[in-house]
Amino acid sequence: MTVEIGKQAPDFQLEANNGETVTLAKFRGKNVVLYFYPKDMTPGCTTEACDFRDQFQQFHDLNAVILGVSPDPANRHQKFIEKYGLPFLLLADTDHEAAEAYGVWKLKKNFGKEYMGIERSTFIINQEGTLVKEWRKVQVKGHVEEALTYIRANQ
Protein backbone atom coordinates (compact mmCIF):
# COMPACT_ATOMS: atom_id res chain seq x y z
CA MET A 1 0.00 0.00 0.00
CA THR A 2 1.29 3.44 -0.83
CA VAL A 3 0.12 6.73 0.54
CA GLU A 4 -0.89 9.40 -1.90
CA ILE A 5 -1.86 13.03 -1.43
CA GLY A 6 -5.59 13.46 -2.02
CA LYS A 7 -6.39 9.85 -1.03
CA GLN A 8 -7.60 8.38 2.24
CA ALA A 9 -4.72 7.99 4.69
CA PRO A 10 -4.12 4.39 5.79
CA ASP A 11 -5.78 3.66 9.11
CA PHE A 12 -3.86 1.85 11.82
CA GLN A 13 -4.38 0.36 15.24
CA LEU A 14 -1.47 1.02 17.60
CA GLU A 15 -0.89 1.00 21.34
CA ALA A 16 -0.34 4.47 22.81
CA ASN A 17 1.91 5.37 25.72
CA ASN A 18 -1.18 5.50 27.99
CA GLY A 19 -2.13 1.89 27.17
CA GLU A 20 -5.02 2.92 24.92
CA THR A 21 -5.41 1.40 21.44
CA VAL A 22 -5.48 4.26 18.96
CA THR A 23 -6.78 4.33 15.39
CA LEU A 24 -6.55 7.14 12.88
CA ALA A 25 -10.32 6.93 12.37
CA LYS A 26 -10.77 7.98 16.01
CA PHE A 27 -9.62 11.49 15.06
CA ARG A 28 -12.12 12.18 12.25
CA GLY A 29 -13.25 15.79 12.54
CA LYS A 30 -9.75 16.93 13.49
CA ASN A 31 -6.61 17.62 11.50
CA VAL A 32 -3.94 15.05 12.34
CA VAL A 33 -0.20 15.68 12.36
CA LEU A 34 1.19 12.15 12.13
CA TYR A 35 4.93 12.17 12.55
CA PHE A 36 7.20 9.16 12.34
CA TYR A 37 10.55 9.28 14.11
CA PRO A 38 13.32 6.70 14.63
CA LYS A 39 13.79 6.38 18.39
CA ASP A 40 12.83 7.86 21.76
CA MET A 41 15.50 9.69 23.78
CA THR A 42 17.85 10.32 20.83
CA PRO A 43 19.01 13.89 20.09
CA GLY A 44 17.10 14.58 16.85
CA CYS A 45 13.94 12.84 18.02
CA THR A 46 14.01 14.66 21.36
CA THR A 47 14.42 18.03 19.61
CA GLU A 48 11.53 17.28 17.26
CA ALA A 49 9.24 16.09 20.08
CA CYS A 50 10.06 19.15 22.19
CA ASP A 51 9.41 21.45 19.21
CA PHE A 52 5.96 19.85 18.81
CA ARG A 53 5.47 20.22 22.59
CA ASP A 54 6.36 23.90 22.47
CA GLN A 55 3.85 24.54 19.64
CA PHE A 56 1.21 22.15 20.99
CA GLN A 57 -1.30 24.84 21.97
CA GLN A 58 -1.12 26.47 18.54
CA PHE A 59 -1.83 23.14 16.84
CA HIS A 60 -4.65 22.51 19.32
CA ASP A 61 -6.15 25.93 18.54
CA LEU A 62 -6.24 24.91 14.85
CA ASN A 63 -8.19 21.71 15.68
CA ALA A 64 -5.08 19.60 15.07
CA VAL A 65 -3.96 16.51 16.97
CA ILE A 66 -0.29 15.52 17.10
CA LEU A 67 0.56 11.80 17.05
CA GLY A 68 4.16 10.61 17.20
CA VAL A 69 4.99 7.10 15.94
CA SER A 70 8.15 5.04 16.38
CA PRO A 71 9.02 1.35 16.77
CA ASP A 72 9.67 1.86 20.50
CA PRO A 73 7.32 0.04 22.91
CA ALA A 74 4.59 1.98 24.73
CA ASN A 75 6.36 1.87 28.12
CA ARG A 76 9.46 3.52 26.61
CA HIS A 77 7.20 6.17 25.04
CA GLN A 78 5.73 6.87 28.48
CA LYS A 79 9.22 7.46 29.92
CA PHE A 80 10.00 9.82 27.00
CA ILE A 81 6.75 11.73 27.64
CA GLU A 82 7.43 12.01 31.37
CA LYS A 83 11.03 13.13 30.91
CA TYR A 84 10.17 15.91 28.43
CA GLY A 85 6.58 16.80 29.40
CA LEU A 86 5.11 15.87 26.03
CA PRO A 87 1.37 16.69 25.89
CA PHE A 88 0.48 14.37 22.98
CA LEU A 89 0.26 10.64 22.37
CA LEU A 90 3.17 8.54 21.19
CA LEU A 91 2.23 5.34 19.38
CA ALA A 92 4.15 2.07 19.48
CA ASP A 93 4.61 0.67 15.97
CA THR A 94 6.70 -2.29 17.16
CA ASP A 95 5.84 -4.40 14.10
CA HIS A 96 6.35 -1.33 11.83
CA GLU A 97 3.01 -1.95 10.12
CA ALA A 98 2.04 1.73 10.11
CA ALA A 99 5.56 2.72 9.02
CA GLU A 100 5.30 0.31 6.09
CA ALA A 101 1.79 1.53 5.19
CA TYR A 102 3.11 5.10 5.04
CA GLY A 103 6.27 4.09 3.18
CA VAL A 104 8.70 5.25 5.87
CA TRP A 105 10.22 1.87 6.85
CA LYS A 106 13.47 2.09 4.87
CA LEU A 107 16.92 0.62 4.48
CA LYS A 108 19.25 2.98 6.33
CA LYS A 109 23.01 3.25 6.49
CA ASN A 110 24.96 4.49 9.46
CA PHE A 111 28.72 4.17 9.96
CA GLY A 112 28.88 1.60 7.15
CA LYS A 113 26.18 -0.57 8.71
CA GLU A 114 22.87 -1.23 6.94
CA TYR A 115 19.63 -1.78 8.81
CA MET A 116 15.89 -1.19 8.48
CA GLY A 117 14.42 1.77 10.31
CA ILE A 118 12.14 4.80 10.23
CA GLU A 119 12.81 7.60 7.77
CA ARG A 120 11.77 10.73 9.70
CA SER A 121 8.54 11.88 8.02
CA THR A 122 5.42 13.89 8.77
CA PHE A 123 1.95 13.60 7.28
CA ILE A 124 -0.97 16.02 7.57
CA ILE A 125 -4.36 14.31 7.40
CA ASN A 126 -7.44 16.50 7.16
CA GLN A 127 -10.68 16.22 9.09
CA GLU A 128 -12.13 13.77 6.56
CA GLY A 129 -9.13 11.42 6.82
CA THR A 130 -7.53 12.48 3.53
CA LEU A 131 -3.76 12.87 3.26
CA VAL A 132 -3.17 16.51 2.28
CA LYS A 133 0.57 17.06 2.87
CA GLU A 134 3.70 15.01 3.46
CA TRP A 135 7.30 15.72 4.33
CA ARG A 136 9.84 12.92 3.91
CA LYS A 137 13.47 12.83 5.03
CA VAL A 138 12.60 15.60 7.49
CA GLN A 139 15.32 17.87 8.79
CA VAL A 140 14.31 18.68 12.37
CA LYS A 141 15.29 22.36 12.51
CA GLY A 142 12.28 24.50 11.55
CA HIS A 143 10.11 21.54 10.59
CA VAL A 144 7.42 21.91 13.28
CA GLU A 145 6.95 25.58 12.35
CA GLU A 146 6.60 24.51 8.69
CA ALA A 147 3.86 22.01 9.62
CA LEU A 148 2.07 24.62 11.73
CA THR A 149 2.26 27.17 8.92
CA TYR A 150 0.77 24.65 6.48
CA ILE A 151 -2.20 23.90 8.75
CA ARG A 152 -2.80 27.60 9.40
CA ALA A 153 -2.83 28.33 5.64
CA ASN A 154 -5.15 25.42 4.81
CA GLN A 155 -7.88 25.70 7.44
- Whether the CB-CB separation of 99 and 105 falls below 8 Å is answered with yes
Catalytic, 50? Answer no
The catalytic position among 45, 98, 99, 144 is: 45
Nearest Cα residue to 121 out of 106, 98, 104: 104
Report the greatest alpha carbon distance in the chain: 45
- 149/116 Cα distance (integer angstroms): 31
- 8 A C-beta contact, residue 135 and residue 146: yes
Between CA 154 and CA 76 the distance in angstroms is 34
As a dihedral over the C-alpha atoms of residue 141, residue 147, residue 152, residue 155, rounded to 10 degrees, the angle is 180
Note whether 25 and 115 are within 8 A (CB). Answer: no
Catalytic residues: 45
